[in-house]
Amino acid sequence: MKPPRVGVLALQGDTREHLAALREAGADACTVRRREELDAVDALVIPGGESTTMSHLLRELDLLEPLRARLADGMPAYGSCAGMILLAGEIVDAGVPGREALPLGGLDITVRRNAFGRQVDSFEDDIDFTGLDGTVHAVFIRAPWVERVGDGVEVLARAAGHPVAVRQGRVVATAFHPEVTGDRRVHQLFVDSLTSR
């Protein structure tokens, strides 16, 4: 069986790290910057970075509505940090009007941007993660948290009492950055979900 073709949204953020993690997890990974590249992938990873900048570039490159449409049609996706923010159905403190983070609606959740604080408040923690053996070393950088979880959304991990990893169908999001730690289990969980029935 052919490996799933997984795109990494390569507008800004941890693109290389996600490509490496996906390839190690057995995916055929590629970058996505244009509509035809989005149309050619089976699933998409939205990396960490700056959610307002990524939203602006999605609009400028005419990718915002095609991406929303693919997610509405059931395209699997994984988002880390800013990717979690963008995959949400609702964003609290989205930014200044005209330059705000724009929800893509892949998950029935409400997220708060920079919920754990500014860059100086970034931290690391070992957290329990449903479906994975042992703890996951989580790196939180100006991280969001989930404030509301809708029906059908499973909370996979918590930090400081707040959901920081969620799954709804084949859409997964983490408030932290597993791509920077060398632990490929979160990416493996996502890639495995693409080939399971």
User: Which sequence positions are flagged as catalytic?
Assistant: 81, 177, 179
For the chain, what is the radius of gyration of the CA atoms?
15
Contacts of 98 (CB under 8 A, 6+ apart): none
Task: Spell out the domains of the chain, with CATH numbers in brackets.
Answer: 5-195 (3.40.50.880)
CA dihedral 21, 155, 104, 195 (to 10 degrees): 50
Widest CA span of the chain, in angstroms?
46
- Count Cα neighbours of 135 within 13 Å in the Cβ-side half-sphere: 9
**Tokens coding 132:** 């994975």
**Tokens coding 1:** 């069986």
**27-80 pLDDT per residue, tens:** 999 999 999 999 999 999 999 999 999 999 999 999 999 999 999 999 999 999
**106-119 pLDDT per residue, tens:** 999 999 998 987 77
Binding residues for L-glutamine: 49-51, 113, 141-142
